[in-house]
Structure 1
Amino acid sequence: MKRFIGFIKKEFFHILRDRRSLFILFGMPIVQIMLFGFAITNEINNVDIAVLDHSKDDVTKEIIDKIAASKYFSIKAFIDNETAIEKVFEKGQIKAVLNFEPDFSRKLIAENGATVQILTDATDPNTANTISNYTGAILQKYQQELNQNVAISYQIVPQTRMVYNPELKSVFMFVPGVMTIILMLVSAMMTSISITREKELGTMEILLVSPLKPAQVIIGKVVPYVFLSVINAVIIIILSIFVFKMPVEGSLFLLGAESILFIINALSLGILISTISSTQQTAMMVSLMGLMLPVILLSGFIFPISSMPLPLQIISNAIPAKWFIIILKGIMLKGVGLAYLWKESLILVGMTLFFMAMSVKKYKIRLE
């Protein structure tokens, strides 16, 4: 019994001395609870919308003011014609456009009815549907307030049209997200154990005394996995197109190039994890727990980033998956080219170079 108690004490002391174990035991659950508590929401807040007001009368201005005063919407642009609607959608920031018909106020009073068209970006069906419902509720409330002071009821008739995903197929939202998660986790996991395996097998010393430069070692470990991951990406795209009927409105060449860029980004991140991990188990745990939850919760895959607290919105900018999902939706659903996706592509390039540089630096430290 004394030996058993002593063994238990020894295990407690061992866990308390291991900071990584303490973080996994106590830090990770806290991080998960915080992420789930703040990120999982079906509500929308501060969604960027644009307004096309053909009438520009007192009634439309009053409606616009009410929409702008709500916590759900933020009016970012006023456009002048229908041709500008597609352009603001293609940029990706605007999620809805309110289109007031000409002579709105006169028709509302004289004909007891006027029309405002609600156009939403349906690349995210859930958010598009929520935006439509919230806008309709604001219009309905304004209509009720207006009818209190008149004998004949006025009626505002919203006309809703979903662009890019008119049938509101949720698979159009999930396929880019699932593709991102698979490429990120598989690519990072494959490389995260590479250098760690060398340490455990005792072959790290051979690499340390080899004439290869640190950058050559890092790149040499990444290149074989690039080909395997590209094959994986091709299979995913083929399944998306032929099984899930996912459209590819843009260039397949650009889609392939952006996928390779993201794969190299994920592989570089995996190499960085392997250089800072002492065991394969640690590397695997960091890859799974440290990447899976942020990719799912903070990439905009399921939940709109604009509805999250500001600190989480800032953190989401450091998640490569966020930018790749924007790229995938832009190419596959909107059919836009590099002219609209250059910023996201440049961010992925910058992150990749940063991960590679940090990996080389960590490797150099072990040489000294």
Structure 2
Amino acid sequence: MKRFVGFIKKEFYHIFRDTRSLFILFGMPIVQILLFGFAITNEINNVDMAILDHSKDATTKEIINKISASKYFSIKQILERETDIEAVFKKGKVKAVLNFETDFGKNLIKNHQATVQIITDATDPNTANTISNYINSILQNHQQEQNKAIHIDYVIVPEPRMVYNPELKSVYMFVPGVMTIILMLVSAMMTSISITREKELGTMEILLVSPIKPFQVIIGKVFPYIFLSVINAVVIVLLSIFIFKMPVQGSLFLLALESVLFIISALALGILISTISATQQTAMMISLMGLMLPVILLSGFIFPISSMPLPLQVLSNIIPAKWFIIILKGIMLKGVGLEFIWKETLILLGMTILFIGLSVKKYKIRLE
């Protein structure tokens, strides 16, 4: 019994001496609870929208002010022509456009009916549907307030139109997100245990005394996984096209280049994890728990980032998956070119260079 108690004490000592294990045991659950508590929501807040007002009368201004005053929408742009609608959607920031017909106020008084078109970006069908419902609710509320003061009811007829995903197929949202999660987790996990495996098998000493430079070791370990991950990406795209009928409106060549860039970023992140992990188990735990939840919750895959608290919105910017999902949706659903996604591409490229640089630096430290 004394030996058993001593063994238990020893295990406690090992856990408390290992800060990484303490973080996994106590830090990860806390982070997960906070992320789930704040990020899981079906509400929308601060959605950027644009206005195309052909009427420019007192009635439309009153409706616009009412929408702008709500916490759900933020009017970022006033459009002048119908052709501006597609351009503003392709930039990716504006999620809805309110299009008032000509003589909106006059038609409301004369014909007791006027039309306003609600155009939403349906690359995320759930969010698009929610945005449309919120705008409808505000319009109906305005209509009820006006009808209290008159004997003849006015009727505002909203005409929702979903662009890029008119049938609101949820698969259009899930395919880019699932592709991102698979490439991130598989690529990171495959490489995160590479250097830790060398240490556990006792072959790290061979690498330490070899004339191979640190960056050569990193590239040598990453290159085979790039090939395997590219095959994964091709399989995912083929399944999405032929099984789920997912359209690819943009350039396949650009899609391939962006996918390779993201794969290299994920592999470099996995190498970085492996250089700071003492065991394969630790490396795998960090890869799974440290990457999976942020990718799912903070990438905009399921939950709109604009509805999250400001600290989480800021934190989401360091998640590579967020930028890759924007790129995927832009190329596959909107058919945009590099001129619309150059910023996201540069951010991914910068993150990739950073991860590779940190991995080489960590490897150098082990050589000294």
TM-score (norm 1): 0.99
1:353 paired residue number = 353
The alignment partner of 2:165 has SS state of: coil
2:96 paired residue number = 96
1:76 paired residue number = 76
**Alignment deviations for residues 91-113 of structure 1 (CA, whole Å, 9 cap, x no partner):** 00000000001111111011101
**Structure 1 residue 18: deviation in Å?**
2.0
Uncovered stretches (5+) of structure 1, i.e. residues with no partner: none
2:280 paired residue number = 280
1:223 paired residue number = 223
**Number of residue-to-residue matches in the alignment:** 368
1:312 paired residue number = 312
Give the counterpart letter for 2:283 in structure 1.
A
Instruction: Please give the residue correspondences for 1:228-267 in structure 2 after superposition, counting only pairs within 5 Å.
Output: 228-267=228-267
Which has the larger displacement, 16-25 or 162-171? 16-25
**Is 1:106 the equivalent of 2:111?**
no
**Structure 1 residue 209: deviation in Å?**
1.5
The alignment partner of 1:317 has SS state of: helix
1:154 paired residue number = 154
Alignment root-mean-square deviation, CA: 0.8
**Structure 1 residue 23: deviation in Å?**
1.2
1:118 paired residue number = 118
Instruction: Write out the 4+ residue segments of structure 1 that deviate beyond 4 Å after TM superposition.
Output: none
**Structure 1 residue 22: deviation in Å?**
1.5
**Structure 1 residue 16: deviation in Å?**
2.0
1:341 paired residue number = 341
**Is 1:182 the equivalent of 2:182?**
yes
Q: Distance in 2 between matches of 1:115 and 1:106?
A: 11
**Structure 1 residue 19: deviation in Å?**
1.5
**Structure 1 residue 8: deviation in Å?**
2.3
1:206 paired residue number = 206
1:326 paired residue number = 326
TM-score (norm 2): 0.99
Q: Distance in 1 between matches of 2:237 and 2:217?
A: 31
**Structure 1 residue 254: deviation in Å?**
0.6
Q: Distance in 2 between matches of 1:270 and 1:346?
A: 20
**Structure 1 residue 232: deviation in Å?**
1.0
Uncovered stretches (5+) of structure 2, i.e. residues with no partner: none
**Structure 1 residue 17: deviation in Å?**
2.1
1:144 paired residue number = 144
The alignment partner of 2:318 has SS state of: coil
Give the counterpart letter for 1:101 in structure 2.
E
Q: Distance in 2 between matches of 1:133 and 1:175?
A: 24
Q: Distance in 1 between matches of 2:335 and 2:278?
A: 44
Give the counterpart letter for 2:303 in structure 1.
F
1:164 paired residue number = 164
Which has the larger displacement, 87-96 or 222-231? 222-231
**Alignment deviations for residues 12-64 of structure 1 (CA, whole Å, 9 cap, x no partner):** 22222222222111111100000000000000000000000001111100100
**Is 1:271 the equivalent of 2:271?**
yes
Give the counterpart letter for 1:140 in structure 2.
Q
**Structure 1 residue 207: deviation in Å?**
1.1
**Alignment deviations for residues 312-336 of structure 1 (CA, whole Å, 9 cap, x no partner):** 0000000000000001000100001
**Is 1:10 the equivalent of 2:27?**
no
**Structure 1 residue 189: deviation in Å?**
0.6
**Alignment deviations for residues 56-94 of structure 1 (CA, whole Å, 9 cap, x no partner):** 111100100000000000000000010000000000000
Q: Distance in 1 between matches of 2:98 and 2:348?
A: 33
Q: Distance in 2 between matches of 1:14 and 1:358?
A: 28
2:37 paired residue number = 37
2:61 paired residue number = 61
Q: Distance in 2 between matches of 1:56 and 1:345?
A: 39
Q: Distance in 2 between matches of 1:204 and 1:337?
A: 45
Q: Distance in 1 between matches of 2:10 and 2:358?
A: 36
